[in-house]
Amino acid sequence: MRLYASATVAEVLDRLLADPAVAEAVVADRTLPARAADMRPFPDWLDAGLRSGLEGRGVTGLYSHQAEAIEALRGGRDVCIVTPTASGKSLCYDLPVLQAVAEDASTRALYLFPTKALGQDQLAGFHELADAAGIEVAAAIYDGDTPAPVRQTVRAAGQVVVTNPDMLHAAILPHHTKWFQLFEQLRYVVVDEAHTYRGVFGSHVANVLRRLLRLCAHYGSAPRIITCSATIGNPGQLAETLTGRAPVLVDRNGAPAGEKRVLILNPPVVDARLGVRASAYGLVERAAVTFLRADRQTIVFGRSRTSVELLLTRLREALREGRGPVGRVRGYRGGYLPSERRAIEHGLRSGDVLGVVSTNALELGIDIGRLDAAVLAGYPGSIAATWQQIGRAGRRRELSAAVLVATSGPVDQYVATHPDVLFEASPEEARLDPENLHVLLAHLRAAAFELPFEPGERFGAAPADDLLAFLGEDGHVRQAADGRWYWASENFPASEISLRVASPGNVLIIDTGGDRPRVVGEVDLFSAPTLVHEGAIYLHESRQYHVDRLDWDERKAYVRPVDVDHFTQAELAVTLKPLEAFASDAVPGGERVHGEVMVSSLATIYKKLRLESLENLGWGRIHLPELELHTTAYWVAVDPAAVAGWRRDELDVALVGAGRALQTVASVLLMSDPRDLGLVSQVRSPHAERPVVYLYDGVPGGVGLAARLFERHAELVAGARDLVADCPCDAGCPACTGPRLESGGEGKRLASRLLALLSGARADIAGAPAA
Amino acid sequence: MTHELARVSSSVPGMDRDPTLLARRLERLRALDRRLVTAAELPPPARRTAAGADPGARAAHLAAGLGGTVEEGSGGPVVVVERATPLPMTLDGLARLPYPVDMERPLVYLDTETTGLGSAAGTLAFLVGIGRWDGASFCVRQLVLPDHADEPALLAALEAEIPADACLVTYNGRAFDWPLLVARYRLHRRPPPVTAGHLDLLPIARQLWRHRLPDARLASVEAGVAGVRRHGDLPGALIPERYFAWLRTGRAALLADVLAHNREDVVSLGRLLGEMSERLADPERRRSAHPGDVASLARVFQRDGRQDEALACYAEALAAWDEREPAPTRLDRDTLAAEAARLLSRTGRHAEAEAAWRALADRGGSTAVWAWIALAKHREHRARDSAGAMEAALRALRIVERRRAVGIPLRAAERDLARRLARLHRRARARRLT
Ligand SMILES: [Zn+2]
């Protein structure tokens, strides 16, 4: 029974590290110091009701970041607030909004959250504060679930409207005349969880905000924008790209925090030659069970629904063996009913729930209070997401702990062998490209529908006339005699855009497993051949679906839920043609280029691979037409003289191996899914007549990944070189240059040689290359 | 931070909209798009015609083509086309009908033609037809938008057509035309015109005439009610494209059909109101009206709480069906008679109600079940005639049982009778005991 005696986090950590299996796996053990609160008094101008309301809730002052944010807003500036989880971020916008409502009841505010659940969570908090302050304010959610009669009330009288970008885009902006009271009086726009607005989604959202601000200007309002982001590498730039305006950056957190110890564990190598490691689950279970037995509130993050269920079962079994607190450990993931989720969140805050196993569904700002320990089963894919998950553990005063257990995947192994990436490097940058021509043109159509364009009027970076003239060729937009550009079509352009995917012609995914067919999601056309071909295992919200049939002409994939221990990986025969170089530059061993390319891809076969071990379980053919992707790419053209003595087949293997390593490092650097970047290598490019490795943006027009890779070429090559050199395998493995069988055992050696050549002198890595 | 941004955008020309680079990228996109969209789906490219360049010339050209005039307003030109149609009808009876029309106020008949459905911001009304009576003719004044740019002028001209005490008369205007116009005023940041009332004829037409019409489209209603058939009427679905084609080509003739269609619609509003007034308002004239229409009107009166008039209409409709032309089905006739009998009971005319129920009961059929039940109720509670009540209930029961035997059970009536007969038996037993 002593096993379950309550213990402090420090004692649990000692206990854990006394276990040889754990101790041997530690690749990093860092302690983050405690931080005292940095408090400021309430400002003089604060409404008396608000002040007493806050004091009544035990809040006697503001944290420094809250004070900075509200003063900047008071001064008429936009702000971008960067704060970790649970640092009182909501007050940074709730307070100025309530103050404005108290001063002038006609004030309106718009809150944008990426998901419905977050909107509900935040609205509840807002109402509590408003009630405590005795301020009457009509705040309501406006989303797809809002009933029609309520919608009308919200439009006419909602002072604070809580919605999401999709709803703003499709239901509010095109119908702005019904929302004129909102647009006339809009004082604040809150863009929370802004770090989620990256990639295609972010590129769309930036254009939705352009449309919003355009309408505000039309109705005579000039709202301040409050952007909130988790810690990422470029929060201010993200906010500026998203909103088109430079905010005051508030990134010094004034909330107190206790000391935190972070461990990174890498499971032991079981086959050194093949570079195969033990599963992460064993260590995750050991760590989590040790905390739970000591009565320490713990959250375990799995990467998929399957792994959450697996971990939950293992933890419960382990606890049951010793009659542990089995019933107090719960699962939490997409697919659970909202009421179940609310109950678990509440249980976590009250302490009734001791442990929770979750997908990243809990990564976003849902309030679950502060826990003692976080255990991460696998690297979450980005430094920023890692810190968000780690941030779930963290008491105000006492010590907390976080344990990251690496899987055998390439990105995980890169982090495990380079833990400084996590602690020293700045987190990834969120990339988006509102100027993506495909995205831009789609929103320009929607914007012209909403309001005619003045001649010379800017939309984003530049005047829109050339683009409008281009749209005019199809007759949907026309320039009238007054020079303005008018929408001239029966079409409803907003309905042709889905913010979460890249291009029109999406393939709908239809679940036929239930009582009646149900659309569970969509994928863009260019991803469809590899993601939803017949026989594919498609993952949606951490759930596995088997694709029974793909109706290509109808753009529909028929799936049913399954629970299997494998995933599928499609192979593409890809040809790439460079169309235009936007920028190029001499680098050691060749040239780096950023430009526009046409990628033709034909899905050929798919493999079934076992989860975790990546063991090959079989394969099948894919019969689908070839697709063309018009996008941006970054490429490295190797100087033929530098590889003069190489055999053609050697060069081929070297380019593929180096390309894989570059792709892995690129996805670490850019906070992107490795799938977002396509890889093509050509031993003798028909265009440049040289060996070339291309990394191309996987969505039409790109989201700015290629441009950023072009800038960070030196870092990328150095990172790839380290990745290959530091990998414990002897001749290449899936974690570095690809499986050794593909390269005849030469992959690692040849890729290293090529990467060394491209690195030039060591001195070049840190600074800009000497052009 | 800003320094960082500047560096990014200057070093990556693809991020900028360098005009020559943009032109090349658009050219490639054009090539790509043209392959995805077949030529047939593309409208012909915009062409600047002689009429297109100068706004004044464009409006004049349109006015000439449509036989109208150009009215110059502060916000640009509007083309106005006026036509009078002989329509010798009066609305004198309208005030007697259960509809919210104040005959002291000016009635403004209004119908729009638009560039699409719904009232989202990209749809506009390019034609507003306004009708009013002028003696024995009905005058339609159509405001036509020569170009997108002239919309403020059209809205200003429309304001002048709608006095503040006006009552609008439309067809589906509450849900469509008026919200769309309000949206246009909002978009141009002008207050929408104030009106004192709005009579939407769509729900009225549904109430009065649905029973004998295939659908509730204005042209169908007009044909069915007033016998006016349109020739060569332009289908509504083609109207937006006609307007876009005018904008592209400057051919005014494209809009001639649209104006004719709109004019017909506005005249129809007057004609329908006239039909209502002349055929249904006056009790004498009503005798020659379609009995089904009179039956519908009875229900409208009843809903409006005007029970005497409702009863009169019920009686007229039933009489017409019984004497002049038979009802479409026997059930229609008996259902109406049952509604009338129910209203008689509710308004305390018990003797008349009893007679009405008795007549219905004698006709047999499924309605007779309820008639017998109603008689049982009346005898039990009002006439205090338990034996008579029992007899009526048993008569009802007999029909119900026959129905059940042929496989058409009348469950609600069965439940009612079971309770009712049990109570009547109990009471009869109690009386025997005392
Ligand atoms: Zn390796």
Q: What is the pLDDT of residues B17-70, one digit of tens each?
A: 677 778 887 887 777 655 444 434 444 444 444 344 576 788 999 999 999 999
Say what the pLDDT of residue B53 is.
56
- Across the interface, of A448, A481, A489, the residue whose CB is closest to B54 is A481
> What's the pLDDT at B7?
31
For residue B21, give Cα distances in angstroms to A418, A576, A696, B25.
Answer: 41, 21, 20, 6
Helices A747-759 and A648-670 cross at an angle (nearest 10°) of 70
**What is the count of residue pairs from A and B with beta carbons less than 8 Å apart?**
150
- What would the mean pLDDT of A238-247 be, rounded to a whole number? 94
d(CA A303, CA A596): 34
Burial readout A178-209 (b: 16 or more C-beta within 10 A, e: otherwise): bbbbbbbbbbbbbbbbbbbbbbbbbbbbbbbb
- Dihedral of CA atoms A667, A671, A672, A677 in degrees, nearest 10, equals -40
Q: How far apart are CA A333 and CA A23, in angstroms?
A: 31
The pLDDT value given to residue B6: 31
Q: Please give the pLDDT value at position A26.
A: 96
Contacts of A627 in chain B (CB under 8 A): none
Chain B contact present for A462, CB below 8 A? yes
Mutation target for A interface from B4, B12, B33: give the one with most A CBs within 10 A. B12
State the nearest Cα–Cα gap between B182 and chain A, in angstroms: 8
Residue to mutate among B24, B58, B151, B186, with most A CBs inside 10 A, is B186
Comparing CB atoms, the residue among A180, A435, A596 nearest residue B15 is A435
Residue B414: count other Cβ atoms within 10 Å of its Cβ. Answer: 17
C-alpha to C-alpha distance for A727 and A276, rounded to whole angstroms: 11
Q: How far is the CA of A159 from the centre of ligand 1 (A)?
A: 57
Phi-psi region of A394 (alpha: psi -120 to 50; beta: other; left: phi over 0): left
Span from the CA of A614 to the centroid of ligand 1 (angstroms): 14
Percent helix, percent strand, percent coil in chain B, to nearest 5:
60, 10, 25
Contact A583 B13 (CB under 8 A): yes
Ion ligand 1: residue ranges with CB closer than 5 A: A 275, 727, 729, 733, 735-736
Quote the pLDDT of residue A765.
36
User: What fold, for B55-279?
Assistant: Nucleotidyltransferase; domain 5 (3.30.420)
The reported pTM is 0.83
Find tokens 């939309």 and name the residue. A459
What tens digit of pLDDT does each residue of B207-229 get? 888 888 888 888 888 888 888 88
Closest CA to B153 of B81, B77, B41: B77
Helix (H) or strand (E) holding B335: helix B330-346
Average pLDDT, chain A: 87
Most confident of A702-711, B239-248, B279-288: B239-248
Query: B119 and A177 in contact by Cβ < 8 A?
Result: yes
- Tell me the pLDDT band of A594, cut-offs 50, 70 and 90: very high
Distance A412 CA to ligand 1 centre (A): 12
Residues in chain B closer than 8 A to A710 (CB atoms): 12
Residues A595-610: tens digit of each pLDDT: 999 998 888 999 998 8
- Rounded mean pLDDT of chain B? 85
Query: Looking at beta carbons, which residues of chain B come within 8 Å of A229?
Result: none
- Which two structure tokens, joined as six digits, stand for A166? 């999709």
Would you call B26 and A484 a contact, using CB atoms and an 8 Å cutoff? Answer: no
Q: Looking at residues A119-124, what average pLDDT do you find?
A: 84
- Interfacial A residues in 232-271 facing B (CB < 8 Å): 234, 236-237, 240, 246, 249
Residue of B nearest to A579 (CA): B28
DSSP state of A177: G
For residue A331, the model assigns a pLDDT of 86
Tokens 């509007």 map to which residue?
Answer: B78
B114: nearest CA in chain A? A490
Q: Given a cut of 90, is residue B147 above it in pLDDT? A: yes
Angle, helix A9-17 to helix A281-293, in steps of 10 degrees: 140
Q: Is A567 helix (H, G, I), strand (E, B) or coil?
A: strand
A488-517 confidence digits (pLDDT tens): 999 888 888 877 765 556 788 889 888 888
pLDDT at A583 over 50: yes
Contact between chains at A493 and B55 (C-beta distance less than 8 A): no
Residue B144 to residue B156: CA distance in whole angstroms: 12
Q: Which helix (H) or strand (E) covers residue B374, if one does? A: helix B366-377
A220 or A630, which is more confident: A220
Ligand 1: centre distance to CA A661 (Å): 10
pLDDT for res A742: 65
pLDDT at A771: 33
| Residue A659 pLDDT greater than 60, yes or no | yes
* CA A413 from centroid of its chain's CA atoms: 20
For residue B258, which phi and psi values (nearest 5 degrees)?
A: -65, -45
C-alpha–C-alpha distance, residues A21 and B290, integer Å: 95
Q: Is A478 helix (H, G, I), strand (E, B) or coil?
A: strand
CA dist., res. A272 & res. B309, Å (int): 98
Rounded-to-integer distance, Cα A684 and Cα A691, Å: 5
Give domain A9-34+257-423's CATH number out of 3.10.20.30, 3.30.300.20, 3.40.640.10, 3.40.50.300.
Answer: 3.40.50.300
Chain B residues touching residue A178 (CB < 8 angstroms): 119, 183, 186
Q: What's the mean pLDDT in B310-315? A: 90
According to CATH, where is 1.20.58 located in chain B? Answer: 286-352
Q: How far is B151 from chain A (nearest CA, A)?
A: 12
Predicted confidence band of residue A46 (pLDDT cuts 50, 70, 90): very high
Beta pairing partners, A162: A111, A141
pLDDT tens-digit readout, A329-363:
888 876 666 677 778 888 888 888 899 998 876 65
**Chain B residues inside the 8 Å CB shell of A221:** none
What is the CB-side half-sphere exposure of residue B262 using CA atoms within 13 A?
30
CA distance linking residue B313 with residue B336, whole number of Å = 11
Give the angle subtended at the CA of B432 by the CAs of B430 and B434, to the nearest 5°: 70
* Of the candidates B200, B191, B78, B90, the residue with the CA atom closest to the CA atom of residue B135: B90
The ipTM assigned to this model is 0.83
One DSSP character per residue, A417-442 reads H-THHHHTSPPPPP---TT-HHHHHH
CB A373 within 8 Å of CB A289: no
pLDDT at residue A502, rounded to an integer: 57
Q: What is the pLDDT of residues A198-213, one digit of tens each?
A: 888 899 999 999 999 9
Residue A517 DSSP class? -
pLDDT over threshold 80, residue B125: yes
Interface-testing mutation among A175, A474, A592, with chain B (most B C-beta atoms within 10 A): A474
**Strands across the sheet with A543-551, in order?**
A518-523, A507-511, A556-561, A543-551, A537-540
Chain B CB contacts of A487 under 8 Å are 122
Q: Chain A contacts of B56, Cβ < 8 Å?
A: none
B149 → closest Cβ in A475, A480, A710: A480
Give Cα A419 to chain centroid, integer Å.
21
The winner for highest mean pLDDT among A486-495, A530-539, A638-647, B62-71 is: B62-71
A474 CB within 8 Å of a chain B CB: yes
B19/A466 CB distance under 8 A? yes
In Å, how far is A220's CA from the nearest CA of chain B? Answer: 10
Pick A461's closest partner by Cβ from B17, B184, B244: B17
- Contact check, Cβ <8 Å, A478/B45: no
pLDDT band per the 50, 70, 90 thresholds, residue A762 = very low
Give the fold, CATH level 3, of A39-250.
Rossmann fold (3.40.50)
Q: Coil, strand, or helix at residue A268?
A: coil
Distance (Å, whole) CA A180 – CA B123: 17
- Cβ contacts of A575 within 8 Å, gap of 6 or more: A599, A600, A601, A680
What residues does CATH 3.30.420.10 cover in chain B?
55-279
**In B, which residues are within 8 Å of A467 by CB distance?**
22, 26
Which residues, other chains included, contact A318 with Cβ-Cβ below 8 Å and sequence gap of 6+? A285, A289, A324
* Banded model confidence at residue A672, pLDDT cuts 50, 70, 90: low
pLDDT of residue B91: 85
What's the CA-to-centroid distance between A737 and ligand 1, angstroms? 6
| B162 contacts: CB under 8 Å, gap ≥ 6 | B108, B110, B168, B193, B195
Nearest chain A residue to B14 by CA distance is: A582
Across the interface, which of B12, B13, B147 has its CB nearest the CB of A480? B147
Cross-chain residue pair A481–B58, CB shorter than 8 Å: yes
Q: What does the alpha-carbon distance between residue B421 and residue B419 come to, in Å, rounded to a whole number?
A: 6
- Asked if B82 contacts B161 with a C-beta cutoff of 8 angstroms, the reply is no
Reading phi first (left if > 0) and then psi (alpha if -120 to 50, else beta), residue A292 is in: alpha
Please state, in angstroms and rounded to a whole number, the distance separating the CA atoms of residues A658 and B238.
60
Across the interface, whether the CB atoms of A437 and B1 are under 8 A apart is answered no
Question: Strand B125-134 to strand B107-114: parallel, antiparallel, or no bridges (unpaired)?
Answer: antiparallel
- Compute, in degrees rounded to 10, the torsion defined by CA atoms A363, A367, A371, A376: -10
Q: Residues of B with CB below 8 A from A174's CB?
A: 120-122
Identify the CATH number of the domain defined by range B286-352: 1.20.58
Contact between chains at A450 and B121 (C-beta distance less than 8 A) = yes
Note whether A178 contacts B15, CB cutoff 8 Å: no
Q: Of A489, A630, A711, which is closest to B32 when you measure between CB atoms?
A: A630
